[in-house]
Amino acid sequence: QNGVMSGLMQMLLLKVSAHITEQLGMAPGGEFREAFKEASKVPFCKFHLGDRPIPVTFKRAIAALSFWQKVKLAWGLCFLSDPISKDDVEKCKQKDLLEQMMAEMIGEFPDLHRTIVSERDIYLTYMLKQAAKQIELPRASENEPRKYIPSVVVGVVGMGHVPGIERNWNSDLKIQEIMSVPPPSASSKIFKFVLKATVFGLLGYGCYRIGHRTVQFVLSMPATQSYLQKLTEMPQQ
């Protein structure tokens, strides 16, 4: 539904998630599941998923990468086998080390960092600011002055997004641009055509081989041979 490249990328990221789960004994995103549980215990609490939709992020990320960057990223995700320990996770909570890791990601895949981290920083900030708007109290009549009370908001975000949210908080944010999906590039169209042609070609060749062998097998059966022999003898009689 979301395209071949987006589907492949999502499968690779699920593989990464499974690797982390296997190494740590717990799945990524546990903080969000815990937030959902806690929100259900608070009367009148509204739980809101405030991140940008995954298909938009994937499509924008894939469109931002060149063909060779896509190959390099896919190769790295396919053969991810580095061991991860709980101590490594604790180290990532240190601000200096986290910033160093983010800087390494920017250096290797700057466009990927922009779409997956920086743009989502803006989106998350926008959604948090929308949730944090003051709540207007109901009025008995139109002549009564408007009264507001502050909202109480608990935002649960990934640690890597905190600096970006702090940096964008006082900015006038517009999210229309980062919600659009750019049209596929010429190289992407060619790759998609070649991939489809290869798949259908292999499928057609496989069907031909299976059909050819099936026909040979059926013809080699004694019952078939006997039936064909009878057919050839019928005109002579």
Domain ranges of the chain: 3-137+147-182, 189-233
C-alpha dihedral (109, 115, 121, 124), degrees to nearest 10: -150
Q: Which of 68-72, 206-210, 233-237 has the highest mean pLDDT?
A: 206-210
Residue of higher predicted confidence among 142 and 166: 166
pLDDT-derived band at 188, boundaries 50, 70, 90: low
Q: Which residue has the higher pLDDT, 125 or 231?
A: 125
Q: Which tops the pLDDT comparison, 186 or 42?
A: 42
Task: Compute φ and ψ for 136, nearest 5 degrees.
Answer: -85, 130
pLDDT tens digits along 57-108: 888 888 887 777 777 777 777 776 677 777 777 777 776 666 666 666 667 7
Instruction: Indicate the residue type of 222.
Output: P
Quote the CA–CA distance of 173 and 128 in Å, as a whole number.
12
What DSSP designation does 54 have? H
d(CA 38, CA 41): 5
Residues in the chain: 237
